[in-house]
A and B are shown apart, each in its own frame.
Chain A
Amino acid sequence: MAIILEILLYLASGTFYWWWTQNLAFFGLAPNFIFAAALSAAILAGPVKAVAWGFFLGLYADILGVSAFGGYALTYSLMAYAVYVVKRHFDMDSFFSQLVAALSLSWISMFFYQGLSLVFFRINPTGLKIFLTEPFLNALAVPVVFQVFYWLKRRTGIL
């Protein structure tokens, strides 16, 4: 039952991101809810499940683009592992730590993905506008998504 709910949550996360970008994108900018879902899952779930969530959400992000397929999968998998390491030392449940984590990990992920794209495909996918603004939007989105995931975890036992 839990696995079905997790698949539904996974699909719902992607669908919500799609809906937001279709209807609420402002000057081509929108919070990256895939990233926010990956980070929230990494905070809430155990390490294996967190890395798996990162990988599959990364695949979802990859399939949305045309560049490095597997790039986001690798990025979010490693991010989930990094969060697993970090959360043993820091309280990641608090709003402020989520904000800081979202901001810093957004930039690190972008740099990492940029590096992967340059190394494997010689392309430069991330625009400066996205690079400068999206981390702040993500920082706002992550606490909200975290609360939703946390509520679902308490209610249904998923993650």
Chain B
Amino acid sequence: MSREKDAANYAVVFFAVLSVLLLIFPASKIAHTARIVASYSLYPSLHYGARYGYFVRNVPANFVSLLSTDQENRALREKVKDLEVKLLNASAAVSENERLAQELRLSHTLPWAGSWARVVNKTPSDWYGSFFISKGSDDGIEVNDTVLGMQEGRAGLAGRVFEVYPKFSKVLLITNSAASAVCSIAPSGLEALVEGKGTWLLKVNYVPEQSELAEGAEITTASGGLLFPAGVPVGKVTKVYPRESFMNFITADVTPAVDLNTLKEVFVVRRHLQQENIPAAGAER
């Protein structure tokens, strides 16, 4: 420890004396030599630094620029995302607007009084059975009101109101296997019962075998039915099944007039059916 202290003392005295000599005799030979020797330590920075400085000169500015570019990039990405969402919303709004405008024009041509409602819920487990609409008893919706969908500029039967709550209602779709309607088959006007199958198709039953039921025949609700107003398009015959040997009537598949998968809004026709009249509907459900 003492040796180290001694060495430190000698060193500090040596270098201090050297420094003082440089200070006292700035123009002396020793000071001049020290200057020359010390100047070599400036070589890396002043000579090579100036020569190759362009490699590192702009590092801070580039770093700042990189940071600001990165921030700008992030902000722009956020903006792009935001705009993409807005664009999607706008395009959805435009298509909704077109659809609603078309439906509104169409509703003026309908001979029935009613109101529009949005489809607010469809249950996957009961996809072809029912859905909920956004209006209920507060809006004057009643059980058994007829529900129409709009497609390709024309109305079609979607179903009927099955349950009514103050703010929403449940609609029993015509495709539900529990639903049926008395219909009239064009052009003869033959009346038959159209029933849901629980799929995207309907079936028409109890058509006398001698009738001329052909594929493509239009089916509308008949005046003989009680639940639905007469003249509402129900669908088109797509396939006629041959008569079974043990039966004396034929059946056929019917494609609904409206695609129930794509309905966004429905028109609820006010029926004001008295509850006591419902049993009179007979086979219609």
Q: Which residues of A contact B (CB under 8 A)?
A: 10-12, 14-15, 17-19, 22-24, 46-48, 51-52, 54-56, 58-60, 62-64, 68-71, 73-74, 77-78, 80-81, 84, 116, 120
Contacts and interface: CB of A to CB of B under 8 A. Distances in A.
A47 B7 CA distance: 7
Contact of B16 (A24, A64, A78): A78
Contacts of A62: 22, 38
Among A23, A51, A58, the one with the most B-chain Cβ atoms within 10 Å of its Cβ is: A51
B16 A18 contact: no
B247 interface: no
A56 B37 CA distance: 10
B39 A63 contact: yes
Contacts of B11: 47-48, 51-52, 81
B41 A11 contact: yes
Given A23-B57, A47-B11, A47-B12, 14 more contacts: A15-B49, A17-B45, A23-B60, A47-B4, A55-B18, A59-B41, A69-B23, A73-B18, A73-B19, A74-B15, A77-B19, A81-B8, A81-B12, A116-B23
A80 B14 CA distance: 13
A69 B31 contact: yes
A63 B32 CA distance: 11
B20 A74 contact: yes
Chain B residues touching A, majority SS: helix
B39 to A, nearest CB: 6
Contact of B23 (A10, A19, A64, A68): A68
B7 A22 contact: no
A64 B42 contact: yes
Contacts of B53: 22
Contact of A19 (B5, B19, B42, B45): B45
B8 A48 contact: yes
Contacts of B18: 55, 70, 73
B26 interface: yes
B178 interface: no
A72 to B, nearest CB: 9
15 contacts: A15-B45, A47-B11, A55-B15, A56-B38, A60-B41, A60-B42, A63-B38, A64-B42, A69-B34, A70-B23, A71-B23, A74-B20, A74-B23, A77-B16, A120-B23
Given A73-B19, A78-B12, A59 B57 contact: no
B42 A14 contact: yes
Among B35, B44, B56, the one with the most A-chain Cβ atoms within 10 Å of its Cβ is: B44
A11 B44 contact: yes
A63 B49 contact: no
A55 to B, nearest CB: 4
